[in-house]
Amino acid sequence: MLAHEQLRSGESLLDLKISTAAARPVAGHVLVLVHGLPRLTGMGRQAAGLLPELAEHVASESGWMVATGTLSGVGGSTGTFSATQWRQDLSQILDRVAEGDRPISLAGFGFGGSLALAVAANDERVRGVATFAAPAHLRPWAGTAEEIHHAVQVAGVVGNERDLLSPDALYKDLLAIDPMRAVKAIPPRRLLIGHGTDDVEVPASDARDLVAAAEGRAELRLIQGAGHQLRADPRMVATLLGWLDRHR
């Protein structure tokens, strides 16, 4: 069962979808799926498009409540991207799903994985983090300040041009998220790092770097032959479901 609601985050109005299992008991745990940052023309409308379907499948198979929020500027959510705004968005989603002191885990894709690490590092409500194709080093991933500023514009995650930070300010704000530092703060909470071996956008070596930064206290899953888009890869789904099943 998939419920749809809207959530206020500053000046943004976020789309939030929450899926619960209809045929099996709810485990009492919550998983929040976090989409990545689109950088191709027009992809802002589609970046989170597959996540509600994934949420329904994972909820049905695991018994967990699974939430997926569309962050500022993406899909039907209003607002404009900045790393700070997306951190606030994700924190607002956590506030919403934490009702009743439910144990929460995050699963982030691409930059969403880096964001999940950064938020979880300072939020003890998060009991575990899984990342898939997450960049460990944002500077090479983003390119120059002008490149990431242009990418954000063409992707269409800008609700109002007046709200978009300047190239230098946007870049500095993005680089304030440091996945290599954040991942150190996750253990002894559970941690899964998944990556495709043929990812050309974020090299698989980034996954190994994250595990090393966590001093090896993470599960590493390299998906052979997989590229950057893991959201619909059945091997990723099986990996995520297995991780959830081991941490009820």
What pLDDT is attached to residue 215? 95
What pLDDT is attached to residue 184? 98
What pLDDT is attached to residue 28? 79
Q: How many CB atoms lie within 10 A of CB 74?
A: 28
pLDDT band at residue 248 under the 50/70/90 scheme: low
What pLDDT is attached to residue 79? 95
pLDDT band at residue 226 under the 50/70/90 scheme: confident
Surface-to-core class of residue 62, CB atoms within 10 Å of its CB (0-12 exposed, 13-18 middle, 19+ buried):
buried
- CATH classification code of 2-239: 3.40.50.1820
pLDDT at 137 over 90: yes
DSSP-derived letter for residue 165 is P
Q: What is the pLDDT of residues 58-93, one digit of tens each?
A: 999 999 999 999 999 998 899 999 999 999 999 999
Q: What is the pLDDT of residues 162-219, one digit of tens each?
A: 999 999 999 999 999 999 999 999 999 999 999 999 999 999 999 999 999 999 999 9
H-assigned helices in 74-183? 83-97, 111-121, 138-142, 145-155, 167-175, 179-182
Domain parsing of the chain, residue ranges: 2-239
Q: What is the pLDDT of residues 9-50, one digit of tens each?
A: 999 999 999 999 876 655 678 999 999 998 877 666 666 677
With contact defined as beta carbons under 8 Å apart, do 175 and 138 qualify? yes
SS3 31: strand
What pLDDT is attached to residue 30? 94
Q: What is the pLDDT of residues 170-186, one digit of tens each?
A: 999 999 999 999 999 99
What pLDDT is attached to residue 27? 61
Q: What is the pLDDT of residues 93-125, one digit of tens each?
A: 999 998 777 889 999 999 999 999 999 999 999
Output the 3-class SS for 98-111: CCCCCCEEEEEECH
- pTM summary value: 0.94
DSSP-derived letter for residue 162 is G
Tokens at 47, concatenated: 């970046």
What pLDDT is attached to residue 25? 57
Q: Count CA atoms closer than 13 A to 52's CA, side-chain side.
A: 14
Average pLDDT taken over every residue of the chain: 91
